[in-house]
Structure formats: structure tokens, C-alpha cells
Amino acid sequence: MQPAELSAVDIVAAVRQGDLSAVQCAETFLSRIEAGNGSINAFLNVDREGAVACAAKIDARRRAGQPIGPLAGLPVAVKDVLCTANLPTTCASKMLEHFQPPYDADTVSRLRQADAIIVGKTNMDEFAMGGSNENSAFGPVRNPWDLSRAPGGSSGGSAACVAADMAPVAIGSDTGGSIRQPAGLCGITGLKPTYGRVSRRGLIAFASSLDQIGPMARSAADCALVLETIAGHDPGDSTSLVASVPRYTELLEQPLTGVRIGRVPDHFAEGLDPEVAKGVEEAFAVLKAAGATVLDIRMPHAKYGVPTYYLIAPCEASSNLARYDGAHYGRRCEETAARKGSRASNGAIAYDSPLVEMYCRSRGEGFGPEVKRRIMLGTYALSAGYYDAYYAKAMKVRRLIRQDYLDAFEHVDLIGGPVSATPAFKLGEKTGDPLAMYLVDLYTVAANLAGIGGISFPCGFTKSGLPIGFQLQAPALGEPLLLRASDRFQRLTDWHLRRPKKSVR
């Protein structure tokens, strides 16, 4: 069997057994990247040399009978929002185009420690802001199922590279749906863990109270394998949870008998594509057949999720992105341009105008339009006189949404539904309408606001051959059940095994 078609679980087992060399495995995926990235643009940076060298060391250690890590030889693609000490980290922004972090993100260290092989950094929406990957300063990612369509975002590169077999596993980040939505649109499995389950240290912040790192792979079992490595308390992240990490891969066997899954009728209201609705209802049927019971529940505040999210996330972003001022690192405008100064506004600003001019020009040149839009939204919402009406109110609604989940989880163990209202949309289809683009997060933002985990996996295809995603959400630290239910579904279906046509790939 070709390594490119093996699951992550199988690759790790084959390397361990000596049936597959880590170098051979890395070479296979690197060749696929080299062949396919030109059309898909999933990678911003490929580390062939580093990956092969790392793989060779693992092979040598295995041959010498030395211990190898739990992910030994597994190629992993990492979203370019996670710091890597050996590779530039750009956030798909001109602002950080040449930025080289001096340290590895906690997730990256854990992957290296486990002997995973980092093959490269994946494309994304700039600073993880977007739902189509069209906000990348380095060009959009194309959906492997239809190159004229968006892969979703912001972890579009991570989703597309797994869908196109360029990597068995990728790391994404999810602030409002950025793992689950592209996973859904690309026909792969993506897990957004509970807030704090995976350390955010080294994850370049978009919205600190919502950001969470998670695995993206072909199956729930592969996600479970990677989560075992990247989850866990990090003393360097005060918000990371102090909770032991279960052996997720060993908790998949138990059947779903007696598991109660909530279904929210509002999810099926106006706006949901009929083919998506059909795929989602069929998924409920599969889960029922597996022994679960499905109950209708109400989430009364869910409809406020998107407006709440689009206040809190930009507020935090406006502050998180203030550090990109051209003074310390990242893009700085031409010195002569800054020195020209004189923006001829009021006298007070004229005093230090070369500095202010440098700030304005550097940020103006470095950030793309969506990033600027969110910085302005957030700055406005936090301003004196608006704080109570926007940020403070949004925080109150956030508590109500969290309470909705607490109430719902009194009655059900999981909540199921669509990931996105439509399958993958055309590139350029929504770029002129930021509000339409914000609605792609409709079904995913609430989990981030509540800090709970969610998983997305394929549950069917449209007539035109585009994947349809199904989402499950669980109470805080409910990853074992999320993974178990998804894995059970994948034992009963083969949607996750389908691949885009070779001609497209």
C-alpha cells in the first residue's frame, strides 16, 4: 500500500514495525506536495530538507534499537499561525512575511518530542481571520474537490493538504470554526478541543479567549492519536487546563448504546442547503442505528452567536495585533516615507509625526483589508462610550450561550448538526460581502464562545461531488466521547475514505 493512502495510525504502526521507513514516508508526502501544491496552494513553506533529515534520524534510532516517540515518522503539516524555530511563521500576512520566531510553539515542541515530522507550514486566512482562505496575503487555497471553490477557513491550507493526501495529519486553529468549517468543506475530520485543552503558547493570537489548536486528519481515530500528543497542561499558558490527558485512542471501542445526541430544530430553518440538510439527517440516522438516541433540544441564544462573536473576537484582535507596529519586528515601511511625516492634522500629532507616520504606513502596508476591518471593529467597540453597549453586552450574551449549553447537556451527551449551511462555495463568491462571509461561522462560533469542544467529519456528498460536514459538540473535556462517536460513525460509513478525483488532484 502507498504510504499516502495509509491512516496516521497505520503509518505510525508501520514505521514502528520497520515495514515503512520514515524517510520513505516523508519522501512520498513531500513528492505529493511538490506535485500538487502549485494548483492547491495549501503550503506556504515546505521543509523538505529538515523533514528528510528528521526522518533519517528516526530510522537510524529505530534500527539501533533505541526508543522512538509515539508519532515517530508521522508527517505533520502545521498551520502557519504556530511558531516554529526553524521555519518562518507568517500568519499568511505581509506583516510577518519574513518573521522568524526564536522558539517553537508548545504544540510544535510536543510534536517534535513525539518524533513527528514537520513537513511544512500551511496557508490560512491572514491572522486566522476568515472563512474561505481568500484572505491570505499569499493567494487563496483551492479546494481539492473542486479547484474553483474555496476550502473554507481559516485553516484552509491544513484542510486541503489532508484532503489532497499531501499530509496524513495537519494542525489547525479554531477561533470561530476555523478547524471544523474547512474540515467540513474539504471532507476531512477536524477536532476543536475544549478551550485550554491544548496550550496556546506559540499560537499567534487572534482572539485569545476563543483560540484553540486542534488536529485535522482523515479520521477521528487519527485525530485521537495526535490529540494524545498535543493536549496537556503547559505551565507557560495560564489558561491551559490542569487536567490529565486520557488515552483517546484506547477509548474508541465502547459502543454508542445509550448515548443521547441533541438535535437543534433551528439548525434546519431557512438558509440551510437542502442537500446539506439531507446529509445531516442521514448522519443522525446512522448514529441512531449505532445505538444512540436523538432528542430535539432548544438553544435559545444560539442566534446571537455570530453577532456576539463578531464583537468579542475583533475586540481581542484589535489589542492582540497592536504589537505589529513596525518598531520591533515584522514589516516596517520605508524609512524615508516615515520621515516625510507631516500628516497635517492637529498640532499634537504633528509633534511626533515621524513615529505616528511609521506606525500608520507600516500597518497600512502590512495588514490586509479583513484584518484592518476587524481591528477597526474591535477598536471601536472597546472605545470609551461604546464599551458597555458592545463589549460588555457581548460578554453577557456569551454567558447566556454558555448557559444554554450547560442546560442542554443536562439532557443530552452530545449535540449534533451541520457544520456549514452550504457545501464549498466558489472562490470570490463572498469576498465582496463581508457579512455573508461572517455567516459561514453560524453553526460553529457558539462552541468557541462556550469554550467547549466540537468535531466535524464528512457525512455525505452533494450531487456535484462536494463533501457535506457533520458537527458534534460535547461538554468541556468531552473529547473522548466526541472522538468515540465520530469513530463509530466512520466505522459504519466510508465518506471519510473518499478522495478527490485524481484529475483534480
Partner 1 sequence: MNAANAPTAAPYTTIVGLEVHLQLQTRTKLFCGCSTAFGAPPNTQVCPVCLGLPGSLPVMNRAAFELAMKAALALDCTIASFTKWDRKNYFYPDLPKGYQISQFDLPFSSSGSLEVVDPKGTFAPRTVRIVRVHLEEDAGKSMHDDTAGRADSRIDLNRAGTPLCEIVTEPDLRSPQEARAWLNELKLLLEYLGVSDCNMQEGSLRVDANVNLHIPEASGRIAKTPIVEIKNMNSFRSVERALIYEVARQWEEWQQTRAELGTMPKQTRGWDDPAGVTRAQRHKEESSDYRYFPEPDLVPVTVSPQQLAAVRASMESPPKQLRQSLQSQWNISAYDADVLVNQGRDLVAYFETLAAQVGGGKVASNWMQQDVLRMLKERGGAIADFPVQPAGLADLIARVTAGTFDTSRAREIFAEMVANGRSAADVVGAMEIAAVGEDELRDLCRELLARNPKIVADVQGGKEQAVAGLIGQARKQNANVNPGEFRTMCLEMIRTMGR
Separation of alpha carbons 350 and 270, rounded Å: 53
Q: Is 200 in the site for partner 1 (CB under 8 A)?
A: yes
Task: Tell me the closest approach of the beta carbon of residue 39 to partner 1, in angstroms.
Answer: 30
Q: Is 383 in the site for partner 1 (CB under 8 A)?
A: yes
The answer to whether residue 79 is catalytic is yes
Separation of alpha carbons 226 and 216, rounded Å: 9
Residue 373, H or E segment: helix 369-382
| Backbone torsions φ then ψ of 231, nearest 5 degrees | -80, 160
Q: Which is nearer to partner 1, 367 or 391 (CB)?
A: 391
**Pattern of binders to partner 1 over 27-66, x per CB under 8 A?**
----------------------------------------
User: In this chain, which stretch among 60-68, 160-168, 284-292, 345-353 interacts with partner 1, using CB under 8 A?
Assistant: 345-353
Contacts 24+ apart (CB under 8 A), 238-243: 239/195, 239/196, 239/200, 239/208, 240/196, 240/197, 240/198, 240/199, 240/200, 240/201, 241/194, 241/196, 241/197, 241/477, 243/197, 243/477
Task: Tell me the closest approach of the beta carbon of residue 87 to partner 1, in angstroms.
Answer: 13
User: What is the side-by-side strand order in the sheet with 169-174?
Assistant: 43-46, 117-122, 75-79, 169-174, 212-217, 189-192, 453-461, 467-474, 414-418, 260-263, 293-296
Residues in 282-321 that interact with partner 1 by CB under 8 A: 315-316, 318-319, 321
Q: Which is nearer to partner 1, 97 or 275 (CB)?
A: 97
Q: Which is nearer to partner 1, 181 or 240 (CB)?
A: 240
Secondary structure of residue 280 in the 3-state scheme: helix
Catalytic annotation, pick one of 178, 219, 240, 420:
178
Largest CA distance in the chain: 73
Catalytic annotation, pick one of 21, 79, 121, 192:
79
Q: Is 206 in the site for partner 1 (CB under 8 A)?
A: no
Using the rule CB under 8 A, which residue among 78, 164, 185, 203 binds partner 1? 203
Site size toward partner 1 (CB under 8 A) is: 47
Residue 311, H or E segment: helix 305-320
Cell 468549517 sits on residue: 181
Separation of alpha carbons 487 and 221, rounded Å: 6
Q: Which is nearer to partner 1, 111 or 207 (CB)?
A: 207
Using the rule CB under 8 A, which residue among 17, 66, 238, 244 binds partner 1? 238
| DSSP code per residue over 107-145 | HHHHHHHTT-EEEEEE--SGGG--SSSTT-TT----BTT
**Pattern of binders to partner 1 over 351-370, x per CB under 8 A?**
x--xx---x-----------
Sign of CA dihedral 157, 437, 129, 242: negative
Separation of alpha carbons 134 and 154, rounded Å: 9
Nearest to 368 by CA among 313, 431, 413: 431
Task: Tell me the closest approach of the beta carbon of residue 113 to partner 1, in angstroms.
Answer: 18
User: In this chain, which stretch among 162-170, 285-293, 379-387, 481-489 interacts with partner 1, using CB under 8 A?
Assistant: 379-387
Task: Tell me the closest approach of the beta carbon of residue 431 to partner 1, in angstroms.
Answer: 26
Q: Is 105 in the site for partner 1 (CB under 8 A)?
A: yes
Separation of alpha carbons 306 and 471, rounded Å: 17
Separation of alpha carbons 93 and 135, rounded Å: 9
The answer to whether residue 154 is catalytic is yes
Task: Tell me the closest approach of the beta carbon of residue 83 to partner 1, in angstroms.
Answer: 5
Return the C-alpha cell found at 295: 432528542
Separation of alpha carbons 108 and 86, rounded Å: 11
Task: Tell me the closest approach of the beta carbon of residue 326 to partner 1, in angstroms.
Answer: 9
Angle value at C-alpha 70, between 65 and 75, nearest 5 degrees:
100
Separation of alpha carbons 443 and 264, rounded Å: 11
User: In this chain, which stretch among 21-29, 113-121, 237-245, 249-257 interacts with partner 1, using CB under 8 A?
Assistant: 237-245
The answer to whether residue 155 is catalytic is no
What amino acid occupies position 202? G
Using the rule CB under 8 A, which residue among 22, 68, 91, 306 binds partner 1? 91
Using the rule CB under 8 A, which residue among 24, 209, 293, 493 binds partner 1? 209
User: In this chain, which stretch among 21-29, 62-70, 325-333, 481-489 interacts with partner 1, using CB under 8 A?
Assistant: 325-333
Question: Which positions ≥6 away from 289 have C-beta within 8 Å?
Answer: 492
Q: Which is nearer to partner 1, 101 or 480 (CB)?
A: 101
Using the rule CB under 8 A, which residue among 236, 300, 364, 369 binds partner 1? 236
Q: Is 96 in the site for partner 1 (CB under 8 A)?
A: yes
Catalytic annotation, pick one of 109, 132, 154, 420:
154
Using the rule CB under 8 A, which residue among 36, 202, 214, 417 binds partner 1? 202
Q: Which is nearer to partner 1, 52 or 395 (CB)?
A: 395
The DSSP call for residue 213 is: E
Q: Which is nearer to partner 1, 179 or 224 (CB)?
A: 179
What amino acid occupies position 432? G
Separation of alpha carbons 505 and 502, rounded Å: 5
Using the rule CB under 8 A, which residue among 54, 82, 171, 220 binds partner 1? 82
Task: Tell me the closest approach of the beta carbon of residue 201 to partner 1, in angstroms.
Answer: 5
Q: Which residues bind partner 1 (CB under 8 A)?
A: 82-83, 89, 91, 96, 99, 101-103, 105, 200-205, 207-209, 235-239, 315-316, 318-319, 321-323, 325, 327-329, 348-349, 351, 354-355, 359, 379, 382-384, 387, 391
- Active-site residues, by number, are 79, 154, 178
